[in-house]
Amino acid sequence: MRFRFFLWSIFGFIPILCFAQLYSSSNFVLENPTLTLSGGRATSPSFEYYSAIGETAIGEYTSGNFLYRSGFLYFPVVSTPILSATAVDGQVVLSWTAASPELGWTVSGYEIGQSTVSGGPYTFTSVGNVLGVVRSGLSNGTTYYFVVRTLDAFGTVIATSSQVSAMPVGSSSPGGGGGGFIPASASVTFSGRAYPESTVTLLRDSQIAVTTIAGPDARFEISLSGLSGGSYIFSLYSTDSTGNRSASVTIPVTLAPGSSTHISGIFIAPTIAVDKSLVRKGENIAIFGQTAPEGTVIISVHSGEEFLVNTPSDENGVYLYNFDTSPLELGDHSTKSRVTLAGEASPFGNSVPFAVGLTTSTPVEERVCKRADVNCDGRVNLVDFSIAAYWYRRTLSSEFLEVESARLNGDGKIDLVDFSIMAYYWSG
Amino acid sequence: MFFLRIFSFFIISALIAVPVSATQFYFGTNTKELPLGYPSEVGIFLNTEGDSVNAFEGEIVVPTGVEIAEIRDANSIATIWIEQPHYRDGRVFFSGITPGGFAGSQGYLFSLIAISQKSDPVLFTTENERVLLNDGQGTEARVTSGSLALGSTLSTSTGNVFVPPYDTEPPDIFVPMVTRDTHVFEGKYFAVFTAQDKGSGIWGYEIAERRNWFGEVKSYDQLEWKSAESPYVLLDQSRKSTIYIKAIDYAGNERVVVLPSRSLLFYEQPLVWCILGAIALLLVLSFAYGRYKASR
């Protein structure tokens, strides 16, 4: 490991020193870097490189304030918050999902931008590290536009949500005539990006509420009306052109009776698959899937250390990366992906396992019954839950032991872990 | 009003919540003193500290001298209960899941409607908590216990006495399913169902099976309803009966959904047998009439 790091240090920097090679990533370009080994900093016209790796003596290559990851260009990423706005009398209730930072960023808080003009300019107000706020003193009948910005530990903006709009309306009093008060129903609209012409499914409290088809640009919009006022757990997922299902995006929402809520900026994570379940060390493994067209897909290969690579998605949203397994240790690994496009970033999607070995690779076996699909009908829903619940805290029959072993966690019993697996793969 | 009630309960509860660095169950109330002899609401919440979690279970130790009159779960993040929160031997047991996961600091689970019968301070605590991450592996999250100390008061005021929410809306529309599986109930058909009610919460379910030989029932009151839980093994395993499932909320509002019987084969249709019977009767009569005419 140390030797490998030493090689990285030497051979990773030689080209920079000798050829002033240009390096780039999705969010910066490193031009004409110079590296000083005499205790100074590596600089370029546009940045300073702190904690530079320099081998000043054999064995001296540690730092107390950074973490070394493979690859010279290492960059933090953060998912974009999903913002929802619910208009009530003279107020708009805003809530958003937490931005999930990775690789170094820490979210310290959020700012709300407010405008009466679509697209801004917005007036920003810091609201602290919270996931909801009520904007009051607003004029009924006026449309307001909001965005939420994520701040890092230094107060720098690292992500901005899509814009949502809301128009406060005066509360309607129940009519006279002696009839009972009938609360007005609420509606909610979800919009965002999935995959080109893919099916997007919306679950309301774990049951399928509606499905729609995304456009060729992967954008979708789903509306649901006739809802009671109250708190809901909405989940969305998409299915790509090969039938592979995305990870779910879950959005808890509290709806006021009669309100209309818009939730925008949903960015469904890419689907992912690999062409081998076992690959010989040094050979390539193809990592592929589907996402929004012409985005930058960030693929993470997780093992002892994390490897990050970028690849573009084509006009159909399809991406493919042939990953060289040479740097990977023998053993089990996994890969997952996320996408950035036009300033928005999806969260990481499902993780796919594979192994690196010494022998020949084998193709990925298509499972007849997918994970958590207890009754093998292609769905994970209340039926599978009920079958598993039947065996909850009971001794499993020999037949069901095989099912539990193949499709759940395989510990020979049905407990909370099996239901957690089921909840993760839930399709409604 | 309903919206404000939800928000005020959550916001005040948040004030009582203790900041944590791991997933934690915590309690929330609108009051710091339980009114002696009157019902008061004690909410149980989950703070996931940024993690996405999808399964949770635990026990609430109810202090002696406190009676649990009801347990309500309207607007819970637990959309499906493995074990519906229930009181037994001084403890409330619960176990549930949130398909798709939940991440947040104020994940409302359910409320105890508690009546204090003693004037001493009381302490609610949680025990045997488990929370699992929404990672497809069932990885355990680090959990810390919650507790809530409350005093008692002889005075009653708005806020500290539980008033059932005004609820005129029936439970939300739900979609039951009928299925069978070789691994459960000896392969018999069973119905699965779960409903949500955002106003007062689901009180229970009733089910009725009826063979509608001559059309749909005109009123649901004509049906023989019986209390039921999901999963429910059907009485009519031939699936010739229409199944009616009623969800009832705490305010008494009802929602009935109907599952039609399976498509009957032509010889299973009562109307076909009526027509065949009529034809047979006509043939017998005409034959008898012919014999009668011949005999004369």
Residue in A98, A409, A419 closest to B97 by CB: A419
Task: Output the CA–CA distances (angstroms, integers) from residue A326 to A279, A320, B185, in the order listed.
Answer: 11, 18, 52
The pLDDT value recorded for residue A119 is: 87
> Measured in whole angstroms, how far is the alpha carbon of residue B151 from the centre of its chain?
32
- HSE value, Cβ hemisphere, 13 Å, CA-based, for A352: 25
Q: How confident is the model at residue A9 (pLDDT cuts 50, 70, 90)?
A: very low
d(CA B237, CA B283): 36
**Interacting residues of B190 by C-beta distance below 8 A, sequence separation 6+:** A386, B178, B179, B180, B184, B231, B232, B233, B234
Residue B240: count of CB within 10 angstroms of its CB? 15
Q: Which two tokens stand for residue B183?
A: 């691994």
Residue B35 has pLDDT above 60, yes or no: yes
Contact A421 B136 (CB under 8 A): yes
Q: Are A279 and A355 in contact (CB under 8 A)?
A: yes
Residue B187 has pLDDT above 90, yes or no: yes
The pLDDT value recorded for residue B43 is: 94
Q: Are B53 and B78 in contact (CB under 8 A)?
A: no
The DSSP symbol for A252 reads E
**What is the mean predicted confidence (pLDDT) over A213-219?**
94
The pLDDT value recorded for residue A64 is: 54
Q: How confident is the model at residue B207 (pLDDT cuts 50, 70, 90)?
A: very high
Dihedral sign, CA of A369, A371, A376, A378? negative
User: What average pLDDT does chain A have?
Assistant: 81
Task: Output the CA–CA distances (angstroms, integers) from residue B70 to A118, A238, A332, B125, in the order listed.
Answer: 48, 40, 49, 18
**pTM > 0.90: yes or no:** no
Dihedral sign, CA of A270, A275, A278, A280? negative
Element spanning A266, H or E: strand A260-267
**pLDDT per residue as tens digits for the range B79-112:** 999 999 999 999 999 999 999 999 988 899 999 9
Interface check B24 vs A, CB under 8 A: no
**What is the mean predicted confidence (pLDDT) over A212-235?**
92
Chain B residues 273-292 with a CB less than 8 Å from chain A? none
Residue A42 has pLDDT above 50, yes or no: yes
CA-nearest of A89, A333, A272, A205 to B75 is A205
Q: How far is A278 from chain B (nearest CA, A)?
A: 20
Domains of chain A: 1-74 (no CATH), 78-172+184-267 (2.60.40.10), 273-363 (2.60.40.1930), 367-428 (1.10.1330.10)
Q: How far is B107 from chain A (nearest CA, A)?
A: 9
Interface check B182 vs A, CB under 8 A: yes
Reply yes or no: is the peptide bond before residue B63 cis, omega within 30 of 0: no
The pLDDT value recorded for residue A120 is: 83
Q: Which two tokens stand for residue B27?
A: 């309690």
Task: Identify all chain B residues contacting A351, using CB atoms and an 8 Å cutoff.
Answer: 135-136
- Give strand pairing partners of A145: A115, A165
Q: Which residue has the higher pLDDT, A73 or B194?
A: B194
**What is the mean predicted confidence (pLDDT) over A8-19?**
41
**pLDDT per residue as tens digits for the range A305-332:** 788 888 999 999 999 999 999 888 889 9
Task: Identify all chain B residues contacting A230, using CB atoms and an 8 Å cutoff.
Answer: 2, 6, 74-75, 198-199
Q: How far is A274 from chain B (nearest CA, A)?
A: 18
Domains of chain B: 2-153 (2.60.40.680), 177-263 (2.60.40)
User: Which residue in this structure is represented by tokens 């009935």?
Assistant: B256
d(CA B84, CA B92): 10
Chain B residues 84-123 with a CB less than 8 Å from chain A? 95, 97-105, 107-108
Q: How confident is the model at residue A59 (pLDDT cuts 50, 70, 90)?
A: low
**Interacting residues of B275 by C-beta distance below 8 A, sequence separation 6+:** none
d(CA B164, CA B250): 9
Reply yes or no: is the peptide bond before residue B121 cis, omega within 30 of 0: no
Lowest average pLDDT, out of A91-100, A258-267, B39-48, goes to A91-100
Residue in A88, A230, A386 closest to B198 by CB: A230
Q: How far is A204 from chain B (nearest CA, A)?
A: 9
User: What average pLDDT does chain B have?
Assistant: 87
Q: How confident is the model at residue A396 (pLDDT cuts 50, 70, 90)?
A: very high
Q: How far is A378 from chain B (nearest CA, A)?
A: 14
User: Which residue in this structure is represented by tokens 């609420």?
Assistant: A186
Contact A230 B75 (CB under 8 A): yes
Chain B residues 210-249 with a CB less than 8 Å from chain A? 230-231
